[in-house]
Amino acid sequence: MVMMMEGGSVGAGKRKRNMGKKKAKKSKNKKLKMLEGKGKKFRVSKKMRNMFEKRARDYNSDDDEEDEKENTAEKVAPGDTWMGGGGDGDNSSEESDGSEEEEGEIQPGIMKFTEGVRAFRLAFKNIIKRNVADDSLGPVLSGHKQLVAKKLAEEEAERKVKGEAKKEKHLVAEKGHLRPANYLDSNEKFLIGIATKGVVKLFNAVNKAQKAQKGLDPSRSKDAKVIRKRRKEAFFSELGKTSLPARDSSSKGNTSSDPRNDEGPAWAPLRDNYMLTNPKLKDWDKLADQAIADDVGRMSEDSGSDGD
């Protein structure tokens, strides 16, 4: 199929294309439209032929043969390209069928072009029709469609696996991490109670000890001795006191405090074990059953070293 576009027949193939080119080529397009619409050339060429014949007669009114010849020649001359049919227009009415073939022979590009155009039009229509019924993946070639589906499935699987792995990791990381309750648990209350008791004991001991030396100035050596004495006394009395409440609570038979009372007051320095660490303090054992503070031990060392 030779689709040669010769000068004038630019839009020859399609009606659509010709719509836009009216102004430029009025006369030609008229002819072309008529050509396309009918697909027959002899009508157009007939009119044109009559016109030209008139002109020819006016111009050369001598010969009939020559007229005919001239007619044909003239017809051929102006409508070179698209007057392929016109050239044979003389014989068109009689040789219409044949002329088409002849026209095809004479000007093969044009004839084939229009036919080719028709064929192309049909083919294109078919393709368009077919693609309307495609699915969601869009106009995809069948082989590619499967590929795309596979890829999507793979991605899904991957994501799932990753999600699970992440969850497991998170679980392991959070192991042991507890969120505390909003309210105070009974166990928590118990623990706070223990801590409070310890703090109270400490504060009372501190108060006592510091009261003893309230009025005295530590820098004065004379007073320093008095301070030391008072400290010791205050402390012993305090320790004597602290042992009592512990014993009392033990007598209550409170199970929770039993393990506590085995070793005495809650505050660490007031417990038995302190004594064991420092051999010098062993004598204190005889004075009070219960604990002796580390500080007291140190104090006594100081006093011992200073030489009472």
Partner 1 sequence: MARFNNKQRKKKVFVKPIVKKQQKKQPNVDHITGNKIPKSFVFSRGKLPGPLRQLQMDLRKLMLPYTALKLKEKRRNNLKDFLNVAGPMGVTHFLILSKTETSPFLRVSKTPQGPTLTFKIYGYSLAVDIAQSQLRPRCPQDLFKNSPLIVLSGFAAGDEHLKLTTTMFKNIFPDIDINTVKLSSCQRIVLLNYNKDTKLIDFRHYSIRLQPVGVSRRIRKFVQNHQVPDLRNLQDVSDFVTKAGYGSESEADEEAATVTLISDLSRVNRASTKSAVKLQEIGPRMTLQLIKIEGGLCSGEVMFSEYGNGGNKEKPGSRDGNEREDSENDNKMEDSDEDNEAEDNEEDTEESEEDNEED
Cα separation, 7 vs 80, in Å, equals 11
Whichever of 75 and 271 has its CB closer to partner 1, that residue is: 271
Q: Which is nearer to partner 1, 111 or 212 (CB)?
A: 212
Rounded-to-integer distance, Cα 248 and Cα 88, Å: 140
* Footprint of partner 1 on 268-297 (CB under 8 A): 268-269, 271-273, 277, 293-295
Identity of the residue, 141 or 181, whose beta carbon is nearer to partner 1 in the bound complex: 181
Which residues in 185-194 are b (16+ Cβ under 10 Å) and which e?
Answer: eeeeeeeeee
Of the residues 24, 206, 244, 287, which one makes contact with partner 1 according to CB under 8 A: 206
Which tokens in the block code for residue 98? 């044949």
Q: d(Cα 88, Cα 65) in Å, to the nearest integer?
A: 16
How many Cβ atoms from other residues are within 10 Å of residue 199's Cβ?
A: 12
User: 7 with 81: CB under 8 angstroms?
Assistant: yes
- Cα separation, 286 vs 280, whole angstroms: 13
Q: Is 244 in the site for partner 1 (CB under 8 A)?
A: no
Q: How far is the CB of 135 from partner 1 (least distance, A)?
A: 46
| Residue selected from 179, 251, 286, 308 as contacting partner 1 according to rule CB under 8 A | 179
Our finding on whether 306 is near partner 1 (CB under 8 A) is no
- Is 223 a binding residue for partner 1 by CB under 8 A? The answer is no
Binding residues for partner 1, rule: CB under 8 A, are: 172-182, 187-188, 191-200, 202-207, 209-211, 213-214, 231, 259-260, 262-263, 266-269, 271-273, 277, 293-295, 298-299
